[in-house]
Structure 1
Amino acid sequence: MLDWQSTELPLTAQADILSLNRSHLYYKPVPPSPEEIRIKHRIDEIYTQHPFLGSRRIAAILNREDVKVHRNTVQKYMREMGLAAIYPGPNLSKRNLQHRIYPYLLRGLSIDRVNQVWGIDITYIRLQSGWMYLVAILDWFSRYVIDWELDQSLELPFVLEAVRRALSDCKPEIMNSDQGSHFTSTEYIQLLKANEVRISMDGKNRAVDNIFTERLWRSLKYEEVYLHEYTSPKEARRGIHRYFEFYNHYRPHQSLDYRTPASVYTA
């Protein structure tokens, strides 16, 4: 786009040259209302504690708490937040049906070494006046957070960036994810195939399939995010970086005989 303040070309002429609708040039994003932020933050808290609840039940809880909101609004917000209830059957709500769905490869598999299975997922991170999205890659054997990235939108690039960084250091035998559009996208699939990583996707009994990542999100939110009111993306990034350093290198895990994820991963 030309700098309309320094050029003699009128804005209408610039739009015609670039084949753009003039209305787009005047558009300014409308920030979310305080009420929308408040409702989304509370939805995140309820979902983190009870990830099997869908929009209907979450709407009922909110209304019981005197937060007057229609189920359709909750459904819309959950879709924007990248949340979907974990059902005990096939979860079709987040699939991009034009993209290929891969089978779940981990049922009955003995996970007994690092870099055998990595899991990847996305979660909602609240800010004082908005929100961000966090993607993290977790080694299932050691519970070590391999890499992560924050972004203010749910667009694909921040996911690919985290995956590329993780793969530049090491490669898993299997990468497991849900069936969301990020993980069924052509770019994501091609990236894993180019690195000879087998692809696994949650299917039936998804609550069990994704249990390690769900536990990571709960730990992160209760031990870090909900204890702080991030005022900016920079502050959120700093806080999450601090937490993952603690989680990987200092926080003992009962399931690891009270060792840290880093000590198990590097061993």
Structure 2
Amino acid sequence: MGSACHTLSLPRSTWYRRQKQASSPDPDIDLKDRIQRLALAKSVYGYRRMTVELQRAGLIVNHKRVLRIMREDNLLCLRKRRFIKTTDSEHGLPVYPNLKIGLVVDGIDQLWVADITYIRLQGEFIYLAVILDAHSRRVIGWALSRRIDTELTLAALRMALKSRTVRPGLIHHSDQGVQYAATEYINLLKENGIQVSMSRRGTPYDNAQAESFMKTLKYEEVYLSDYANLTEARQSIGRFLEQIYNRERLHSKIGYVPPEEFEAGLSRHNQTTIC
């Protein structure tokens, strides 16, 4: 087992948990996702109000099951903490129109989509910022931190800028959160000739591609792991993003090939066309 963990570059605790879950899929995985999202939006809710909220949404669930899940995921204590949401649009900074509306993306580096999500460790929450190429679905920039600040999103953007070629007309799309509206972030985009686009307020569907990716990340990596600390989370999540998602996972929207393979195919096609 030790050599297997070393070969896969996985923490031992994560390996054990995945082996256990592979043999017995978690029947609560969808409910856990709903509860975690509600707990972030309504951090003062205890398990009884959470149960009623879920029932009002049409789920058949009792308070005992909700209490168990909230206790296992350390969500009962959120009501006693100051909690920071991933999107803070009450900042007074300039916001930008949604340039995605009516946009047809037919090549890489025409549209980048960005988003932030939270990840629960054993005793705290950390935050992940990600940037995707909208055409290939490839993760081109990411950063992980205990702080949900502009430096988090800047780190992901700097990675994307380092790894990609900025093409004329490239659009960067995000929500209206303060981390994306910050002067330093906007300036870095404009200095590189990138147009700024933001979702309409309270309209998460405007950034549906990023939202869908975050759900994939949660279901295929985060919920199958039990990160002890930030270092362990960075190791496992980095492996998922760069190795599994970009190079191995088949994506239905791009013909059931991995994003890197899809981009390589585009490059070969373009070279053939030129010749």
| Common fold: TM-score over 0.5 | yes
Contact residue 176 and residue 198 of structure 2 kept, 8 A? yes
Return the letter of the residue paired with 1:61: M
For residues 154-207 of structure 1, the C-alpha deviation after alignment (integer angstroms, 9 at most, x for no partner) is 122121122122112322600000000011110011010100100000016723
For 1:241 and 1:231, how far apart are their aligned partners in 2? 15
Aligned to 2:252: 254
- Give, in whole Å, the separation in 2 of the partners of 1:48 and 1:227: 15
2: CA distance between counterparts of 1:205 and 1:117? 21
1:247 alignment partner AA = Y
- The alignment-based identity, stated in percent, is 33
Structure 2 unmatched ranges of 5 or more: 1-29, 53-62, 267-275
Question: Among residues 107, 110, 129, which one is paired with 2:123 in the alignment?
Answer: 129
Q: Which string of whole-angstrom CA distances, capped at 9 and with x for unpartnered residues, describes residues 106-152 of structure 1?
A: 11111111111001111101111212110010011111000111011
C-alpha contact (below 8 Å) 1:120/1:177 kept by paired residues: yes
Partner SS for 1:98: coil
Write 1 or 2 for the structure with the bigger share of helix. 2
Distance 2:219 2:190 in 1: 36
Alignment partner, residue 222 of structure 2:
225
Question: 1: distance between equivalents of 2:249 and 2:159?
Answer: 24
Whether 2:153 is the aligned partner of 1:159: answer yes
Match of 1:117 in 2: 111
Residue 73 (str. 1) matches residue 61 (str. 2): no
Q: Which residue matches 1:61?
A: 50
**CA apart distance, 1:76:** 5.2
Asked whether the 8 Å contact 2:128–2:144 carries over to 1, the reply is yes
Instruction: Report Cα offsets for 1:17-61 as digits up to 9, x if no partner.
Output: xxxxxxxxxxxxxxxxxxxxxxxxx9983267789x952997632
Verify the 8 A CA contact 2:221 2:240 in the aligned structure 1.
yes
Equivalenced residues, count: 212
Equivalent residues of 1:121, 1:213 under 8 A apart? yes
Which piece of structure 1 moves more, 58-67 or 145-154?
58-67
Structure 1 regions of 5+ residues with no counterpart? 1-41, 84-93
CA distance in 2, matches of 1:142, 1:57: 40
TM-score normalized by the length of structure 1: 0.70
8 Å contact kept, 1:58–1:74 = no
What is the CA–CA distance in structure 1 between the aligned matches of 2:255 and 2:214, rounded to whole Å? Answer: 21
Higher CA-based Rg: 1
Question: In the alignment, which residue of structure 1 is the partner of 2:100?
Answer: 106
| In the alignment, structure 1 residue 216 sits paired with structure 2 residue 205 | no
Amino acid at match of 2:103: L
Q: Is the 8 A contact 2:113 2:132 kept in 1?
A: yes
Amino acid at match of 1:258: Y
SS of the aligned residue for 1:217 comes to helix
